[in-house]
Every structure is written in structure tokens, then in C-alpha cells.
């Protein structure tokens, strides 16, 4: 699949998985909601869904090791329609309230829940370096 098609599928997806690693290289994968801000930038935020703290492992990992992967995929029982897109990039955590709010627009536009209750936690900004993808109909 070409990069334009891959990014179109990413833009329309409602969730993904964010993979980070700690200083020792131990992986950590969590589901996220996200928005594509532009062809090279993806944003996610720590929102109001129940968490015990904003001091989350994914945020600590990004600070010490900013390389991340984001996996968006589609599954259905008709395996000819399977696909995945992996975005590899460099992430940063924005906690400053004024700067954080500058990145919320794409998330609020994508998720009505955020229109009603904007995220108050840090924002993860990913600069996309590579886009890799696969879909089943190419494999046939």
C-alpha cells in the first residue's frame, strides 16, 4: 500500500497501540486514541478516562527514550481485508498548559468526547519518521 493510502487509513482509524521502551529497552504497549495533525505529526493526550496518576509509564519512557512505534490495524473474519500500518517516530511530552492546548485541536475535531471534555493531561506529539504498511490483498 502506498504512503498516501496508509496515512488515509490511519487518519480514519479510531484507536491504535503506542509502543515505548524504558531506559533498559523493556517494551511497554498501550492502546491510545490519536489524531493526525499533518502528514508528519500525530498527537495523543492523557485524558479523563480513569487513571491513578498522570505520571504514566508511557510518558516516563518517552522522556528517557523518545523513539516510539504506533500500530494501527484492521481485522475482520474475511482475511482478504486485513491491513496494518506502523508509524515509527520520535515523541515528546508536552505538559506546559499553554503549549499543550495548541496541540489539542485535531483531537477535539476527531473525538466528540473531547469537545465536551478536553484532555487535561500531557500531550504526546510524535514526529513520524517512517510509515510501513501491509494489506492482505497485496499478499495474494
User: Residue 47: what pLDDT?
Assistant: 83
pLDDT at position 108 over 90: yes
Q: Could you tell me which residues come within 8 angstroms of residue 74 by beta carbon, excluding any fewer than 6 positions away?
A: 9, 13, 81, 82, 83, 84
Confidence of residue 91 (pLDDT cuts 50, 70, 90): very high
User: Residue 44: what pLDDT?
Assistant: 97
Phi then psi dihedrals of residue 11, to 5 deg: -55, -40
Domain extent, residue 23, equals 3-139
The pTM of this model reads 0.92
Q: For 34-47, what is each residue's pLDDT tens digit?
A: 999 998 999 999 98
What is the rounded CA–CA span in Å between residue 110 and residue 69?
21
Identify the CATH number of the domain in which residue 8 sits: 2.30.110.10
Q: How many domains does the chain have?
A: 1
Amino acid at each position: 500500500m502506498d504512503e498516501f493510502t496508509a496515512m488515509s487509513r490511519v487518519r480514519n482509524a479510531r484507536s491504535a497501540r503506542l509502543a515505548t521502551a524504558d531506559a533498559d529497552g523493556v517494551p511497554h504497549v498501550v492502546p491510545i486514541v490519536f489524531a493526525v495533525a499533518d502528514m508528519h505529526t500525530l498527537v495523543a493526550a492523557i485524558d479523563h478516562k480513569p487513571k491513578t496518576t498522570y505520571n504514566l509509564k508511557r510518558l516516563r519512557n518517552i522522556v528517557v527514550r523518545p523513539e516510539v512505534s504506533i500500530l494501527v490495524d484492521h481485522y475482520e473474519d474475511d482475511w482478504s481485508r486485513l491491513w496494518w500500518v506502523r508509524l515509527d517516530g520520535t515523541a515528546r511530552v508536552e505538559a506546559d498548559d499553554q503549549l499543550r492546548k495548541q496541540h489539542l485541536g485535531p483531537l477535539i475535531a476527531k473525538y466528540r468526547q473531547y469537545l465536551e471534555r478536553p484532555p487535561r493531561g500531557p500531550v504526546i506529539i510524535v514526529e513520524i519518521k517512517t510509515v510501513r504498511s501491509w494489506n492482505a490483498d497485496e499478499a495474494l
